[in-house]
Amino acid sequence: MEHLRSQGKSPSTIRVHRACICKTILQAVEVDLNESTTLADYLKNLDRECPKETLRFPRWDLCVVLRGLRLAPFEPLATVDVKYLTLKTLFLTALASAARVSELGALSAEEGFIRVKDDKSEVVLRPFDGFLAKNQRSSEAPREYTVRALRDHVPVDDPERLLCPVRALSTYLRRTNKFRGARKKLFISYMPGRTQEIGVQSIARWLRDVIKLTYELQSADVLVQELQTNAHEIRAIASSLAVWRNTSVQDVLQTAYWKNHNTFTDFYLRKLCYSTRKLEKRGGAVVCAGRELCLKL
């Protein structure tokens, strides 16, 4: 464990190794090191030396990505290449639902799994039967993800309407149904001739591609090179922005299907004062973690 410490590993990583070592020794010589006070004191000292950072800055700027999604090659949706339609729709759905990458990859396009409200103010998405999310019990009811529209929150001619996830989903379904075939998942490959369902790795890669592409459209090369893209960060930014814009933590927990607030505050809460000020200055609206966040002052 001291070797891991010298490599700069976090206390949580060292604890995982400790558990494996203790279990192996217990099975080999029937000595339970978990009862060692010396080991317990060592781990407590690690926590004091390496306090957990509970509030971090995001790895990339949401404002840059949202601005890029309003530009070519992501617009106009009705005529853009299916690749960019797919990337934009996936990102806006991820932001609006705060769903995990695995959950996005399990969303179904079958009849009954996508419900569009009569007034088209929201779309309810469901994963295919049998899918269990990371922290979901088999006894729990199937999860649903509500994606709300921006139609009633911005004027007709406002460019922010280009960021409406319901608009993107409707266009995506209409255009992909022409070549979807027997594929049942909501998000399918945009590669010509491919008929297999995609995996979670493709979903994660596409989300990273959106972030990189929008940065390349607007930012200096040095910013793109230093960019730390992370698909999982979308879930953190969406939920954090909702809280920063006065959505209750309990509502965010319900939307993201977290069992308790510790998961959110310890691993997902981000410092978004700077991004929030930029969004407010620019004005407009965005859908994050199941909420339409109006940012006009």
Give the pLDDT score at 78.
93
Q: Are residues 214 and 268 in the same domain?
A: yes
Q: Which domain holds residue 12?
A: 2-49
* Longest CA pairwise span in the chain (Å): 73
Is residue 70 domain-shared with residue 35, that is, in the same domain?
Answer: no
Do 31 and 68 lie in one domain? The reply is no
Looking at the fold, whether 41 and 67 belong to one and the same domain comes out as no
Q: Indicate the pLDDT class of residue 297, thresholds 50, 70 and 90.
A: very low
Q: How would DSSP label each residue in 203-229?
A: HHHHHHHHHHHHHHHHS-HHHHHH---
Considering the domain architecture, whether residues 44 and 74 belong to the same structural domain is answered as no
pLDDT tens readout for residues 150-202 = 877 666 666 568 999 999 999 999 999 999 999 999 999 999 989 999 999 99
pLDDT one-digit tens code per residue, 240-281 = 988 888 889 999 999 999 888 888 888 888 887 666 666 656
What is the model's pLDDT at position 296? 44
196 and 106 in a common domain: yes
Q: Model confidence over 43-97: pLDDT tens digits?
A: 777 766 665 555 577 888 888 898 899 999 999 999 999 999 999 999 999 999 9
> Does a structural domain hold residue 195?
yes
**One domain for residues 137 and 190:** yes
Residues 117 and 14 in one domain: no
Domain count of the fold of the chain: 2
Could you tell me the pLDDT band of residue 286, with boundaries at 50, 70 and 90?
Answer: confident
**Is residue 143 included in any domain, yes or no?**
yes
- 253 and 289: one domain? yes
Q: How many CB atoms lie within 10 A of CB 57?
A: 12
14 and 81 within one domain: no
CA distance 32 to 27: 9
> Could you tell me the CATH number of the domain that includes residue 205?
1.10.443.10
Reply yes or no on whether the pLDDT at 234 is more than 60: yes
Looking at mean pLDDT, say which of 21-30, 120-129, 134-143 comes out highest.
120-129
Split at pLDDT 50, 70, 90, the class of 228 is confident
